Amino acid sequence: MTPVESYKRDLEQGGFQYDPAQEKVVHYAQSLYVSLLQRNEPTVSLWQRWWHKPTTIRGLYIWGGVGRGKTWIMDKLHHTLPMQKKCRIHFHQFMQNIHIQLRDLTHQANPLEQVAENIIKQADVLFLDEFHVNDIADAMLCVGLFKALYARGMTLITTSNIKISELYQEGLQRDQFMPVIHLLEKFTTEIELKAGADFRFRDAKEQNKEQKKGQNKEQKDEEVHEAVIKTLVESFNIKAEDYGQSIPINNRSIQTRAKNNSLIWFDFSEICSSPRSTADYLVLANQYQQVIVSDVPQFTENNDSEALRFIHLVDALYDNRVQLKVTTQQQFNDLYHGRLFEFRFERTVSRLTEMHSDTYLDELPGKNLFEENKKKQQKVKEFNNNQQSKTDNRNTKKLNQD
**pLDDT by residue (tens digit) across 171-218?**
889 999 999 999 999 999 999 998 665 555 555 544 444 444 444 444
**pLDDT by residue (tens digit) across 6-48?**
999 988 887 678 889 999 999 999 999 999 998 776 655 555 5
pLDDT at 305: 94
Assigned domain for 127 exists: yes
3-state secondary structure of 90: strand
Q: How many CA atoms lie within 13 A of 230 on its CB side?
A: 7
Q: Which residues contact 40 (CB under 8 A, 6 or more apart)?
A: 83
Give the residue numbers spanning the domain of 269.
Answer: 200-362
Query: Residue 111 burial (CB < 10 Å; 0-12/13-18/19+)?
Result: middle
Q: Can you name the residues that pair with 326 across neighbouring β-strands?
A: 293
pLDDT at 218: 43
> Average of pLDDT values for 156-174?
92
pLDDT at 120: 94
Q: Which residues contact 119 (CB under 8 A, 6 or more apart)?
A: 87, 126, 149, 154
pLDDT at 12: 86
Assigned domain for 136 exists: yes
Query: Residue 211 burial (CB < 10 Å; 0-12/13-18/19+)?
Result: buried
Distance CA 76, CA 80 (A): 6
Residue count of the chain, please give it: 402
pLDDT at 265: 93
249 and 134 inside one domain: no
Q: How many domains does the chain have?
A: 2
208 and 184 inside one domain: no
Q: Is pLDDT of 158 > 50? A: yes
Give the CATH number, domain containing residue 149: 3.40.50.300
Assigned domain for 71 exists: yes
Q: Which of 152, 7, 18, 162 is nearest to 77 (CA)?
A: 7
User: pTM, whole model, 2 decimals?
Assistant: 0.64
Assigned domain for 396 exists: no
> Average of pLDDT values for 78-92?
91
186 and 325 inside one domain: no
Q: Can you name the residues that pair with 156 across neighbouring β-strands?
A: 126
Assigned domain for 167 exists: yes
134 and 265 inside one domain: no
pLDDT band at residue 312 using 50, 70 and 90 as cut-offs: very high
141 and 281 inside one domain: no
Residue 237 per-residue DSSP state = T
Question: 388 or 64: whose pLDDT is higher?
Answer: 64
**pLDDT by residue (tens digit) across 368-397?**
444 444 454 455 455 556 655 655 566 555
pLDDT at 51: 55
